[in-house]
Structure 1
Amino acid sequence: MAKQKRKQFDGIVYSTDNNYNYPEEESFALETLPPGKQQLRIQLDKKQRAGKAVTLITGFVGKDEDLATLGRLLKQRCGVGGATKDGEIIIQGDFRKKIGEILSAEGYKVKLIGA
């Protein structure tokens, strides 16, 4: 979700102009929204995890570095392990209420799903 790419040549197949330069690829960096405009969803997930429960935080809009920073903060405050990948934060164990309180204190809009 971090970058969106344009098609390489935008439909140009061949040019007879010797001085023609193909347009450079532009990478559109996704800007991180401020915490007040983020709507994060917190849910308990057990699917494809051998029955072990994890807290799943989705809905983050922004750069992967900012997502990793937020994930690191949540892991430290909860004192457990986890991961950030594919725009999601995974925290080991059921910490929905605690994570909801932490994110609310940081200024994020939080929605508990299935609680």
Structure 2
Amino acid sequence: MSVCPDCGMEKELCVCDSMAKAEQTITVKIDTRSYNKEMTIVEGFDNEVNLDTLSSKLKSKLACGGTAKDGHIELQGNHTHRIKDVLVKEGFERSAINVK
């Protein structure tokens, strides 16, 4: 039996990750890179969220490439029309996601 170091509950019952997701304000914006290629930047994550895992899920669901670095996620292309729905399915609050 393993215990969560943050809340003291068993790992199977731990809700730390979902609580961390519910309390964050996420910002989604578009950045233009070389050759006028668009990049969707998703930022505002706390340290409790595993960016590598979330990045893999976003890339899979949005069918694009990207990376997680420096506390934010970069996705190739403009995904502002779908990113909010995907983040809500991953446990983030719809009202806390700002798309610019």
TM normalised by structure 2 equals 0.72
Structure 2 match to 1:61:
46
Runs of 5+ in structure 1 lacking a partner?
A: 1-30
* Equivalent residues in 2 for 1:16-55, closer than 5 Å: 34-46=20-32, 49-50=33-34, 51-55=36-40
- Does 100-109 or 50-59 show the bigger shift? 100-109
Structure 1 match to 2:79:
95
Q: Give the CA deviation at 1:63.
A: 4.7
Please say which structure displays the higher CA radius of gyration: 1
CA distance in 2: counterparts of 1:106 and 1:63, whole angstroms: 14
**Given the alignment, which residue of 46, 58, 70 partners 1:74?**
58
TM normalised by structure 1 equals 0.63
Greater share of residues in helix: 2
The structure 1 segments of at least 4 consecutive aligned residues displaced by more than 6 Å after TM superposition are none
